[in-house]
Amino acid sequence: MTYRASKAAAIQFTKSAAIELGKYGIRANTIFPGLVKTSMTQGLPDHLMGLIPLHRPGAEDRAGRPEDVAALATFLASPKASNITGAEITIDGGKSIRFPTKFQDYTAEIAKYKKVVGHA
């Protein structure tokens, strides 16, 4: 519940900032990255890192990379994004729209992970 409340607050703050700061030519957008493969996420199970195929035709199944988020931030800061403000952009390879549809999608992978970390 706390996560959802803070995310909603970030969205509304972004919209308010876009309204208030727009008159000064300042744009405000929020980037919501999914899990990104870094040293901090090393060791998380494959189903969380998006390494289990999601079967999305034409889409690469992989964990996010720091350079994915950096590329979006660079674009939003550039003149090419001059008409984008007040937006919340999720960058997670589509995982938030299908992650998972059913818990059973990852049952085998979760069981395998539990054996690796010593949880029976």
Would you name the residues annotated as active-site residues? 3
Strand runs labelled E in the chain: 30-33, 88-91
How many alpha carbons lie under 13 Å from residue 3 in its C-beta half-sphere? 1
Helix (H, G, I), strand (E, B) or coil at 119: coil
The two structure tokens encoding residue 10: 């970030």
Positive or negative, the CA dihedral 37, 41, 47, 48 is negative
Separation between Cα atoms, residue 68 and residue 12, nearest integer Å:
24
